[in-house]
Amino acid sequence: MPALPFTCLDDYDPEALSVSRARQFLLDTVQPVAGHERLFVREALGRVLAEDVISPVDVPAHDNSAMDGWAVRHADLSPAGETRLKIVGTAFAGRPCEAKVGAGETARIMTGAMIPEGADCVVIQEVVRVEGKTIIVPPGQKPAQNIRRAGEDLQAGKPAIPAGKRLRPAELGVIASLGIAEISVRRRVRVALFSTGDELISLGMPLTPGAVYDSNRYTLWGMLTRLGCEVIDMGVVKDDPVALEAAFREAAACSDAIVTSGGVSVGEADFVKQLMARLGEVAFWKIAMKPGKPMAFGRIGQGKESAWLFGLPGNPVAVMVTFYQFVRPALMKLMGLDPLPHLPTFAARCTAPIKKGPGRTEFQRGILFRDNDEWCVRPTGHQGSGMLSSMAHADCFIVLEADRGKVEAGERVLVQPFEGLV
């Protein structure tokens, strides 16, 4: 793993690193993991393609009909009136076509059937009248209408799906249509996960005075799993330098990336940043944003036993905000996704005032709705970074730019919907 490119952060003010600059630094720094594996197509859903899928055949393999109807020669059709044609056969899907269409002739044809020799046009059955062994075709038919040409979807010898694409149901179908049973995908990114803090209690244990249940690990596990990572859950690590160092060394030896929550602030018991500096390198540890200002990025370990480290805040909402704004795109880069997808962002009318001062980007939680064919958004209410319920009630982030002040009701704001994300 190469040294971090600190030169691009030479003028870094730990109180003012912008959201966009921090995100770009992450994307410029991390590189896709090495390692591929072969999978059956049905097992590859959600994985990232490691090599181009080259089409071995044309799709469709032959000229065929897009509709049920009649195969005709367009030159036989009258442009001004009806045309009578003799029926000479039928073309069925999935069978060789033996019918030949000559002058003044037609063949019945089914959807997907090969175009009979001599025909160059398909007239849909709904407009044709059948009289015994002849049909009557109305005027207005166009050349080559309702014909799917061989190779118009995919051409033999050319890439059907490029490397770096995440395989969705549509991609699986395309691969199957080529007769390909196995494909090469990138291995899953391995992410070690643990929470830090003496106050954290595992589920199933009784709460003691001053203690809280560890929710962040479950939120992060859900986000990482949904992203498609291989998650190594290391539990809760107490605020003890010796225990934390041991956890970091273990995590660096078995993972590509480490995600922690808590311990990156400036309190006496916040050791994550100090250990990062001693065991590896720290690129930055504060971002001009709310919530999530104390977020650290760097690496732990050396050589093969090293991993990227994302030290997230301890507050539950800040964990989710920093994950989606920074960790998610960085992990997607590690996965080898190309092009890298970005969170969809668009403007909506805010229906309630929002307090804010200039100086840092804010990610408030909101609820999207339609009003008179216009997208509108309203805040979920209290926006404290410890109120995880605000994320559960919301369906979008309201993104307020760093230089923006308070928002009046009726003003337009940027929103990032959660659909497909959380």
The CATH number given to 6-35+188-335 is 3.40.980.10
CATH 3.30.1180.20 matches 64-148: no
Strands (E), 355-411: 361-371, 374-379, 396-400
Specify the pLDDT at position 270: 60
Q: CATH top-level class for 346-417?
A: mainly beta
Summary mean pLDDT of the chain = 91
At residue 381, the pLDDT reads: 78
* Strand partners of residue 192: 232, 258
pTM: 0.87
CATH fold group of domain 37-59+152-186: Molybdopterin biosynthesis moea protein, domain 2 (3.90.105)
Check residue 268 and give its pLDDT. 46
Please tell me what DSSP assigns to residue 59. B
* pLDDT tens-digit readout, 306-343: 999 999 998 999 999 999 999 999 999 999 999 888 88
Cβ pair 83, 106 in contact under 8 A: no
Sign of CA dihedral 60, 62, 63, 64: negative
Question: Residue 386's pLDDT is what?
Answer: 67
Q: What is the mean pLDDT of each run of 10 residues along the chain (422 residues)?
A: 52 70 94 96 97 95 96 96 96 90 97 96 97 96 97 94 96 95 97 91 82 91 96 92 91 96 64 79 87 89 90 91 96 94 93 94 96 95 77 94 96 92 61
Each residue's pLDDT tens digit, 227-271: 999 999 999 998 888 999 999 999 999 999 999 998 766 554 466
Count other Cβ atoms within 10 Å, centred on residue 367.
17
Q: Supply the pLDDT for residue 4.
A: 57
Q: Are strands 53-54 and 105-109 parallel, antiparallel or unpaired?
A: unpaired
Provide CB contacts within 8 A for 418, sequence distance 6+: 394, 395, 396, 397
Please report, for the chain, the start and end positions of each structural domain, with discontinuous segments joined by +: 6-35+188-335, 37-59+152-186, 64-148, 346-417
What pLDDT sits at residue 343? 87
CA dihedral for 332, 333, 334, 335, sign (positive or negative):
positive
In Å, what is the CA distance from 105 to each residue of 68, 71, 87, 298, 403? Answer: 17, 9, 6, 75, 74
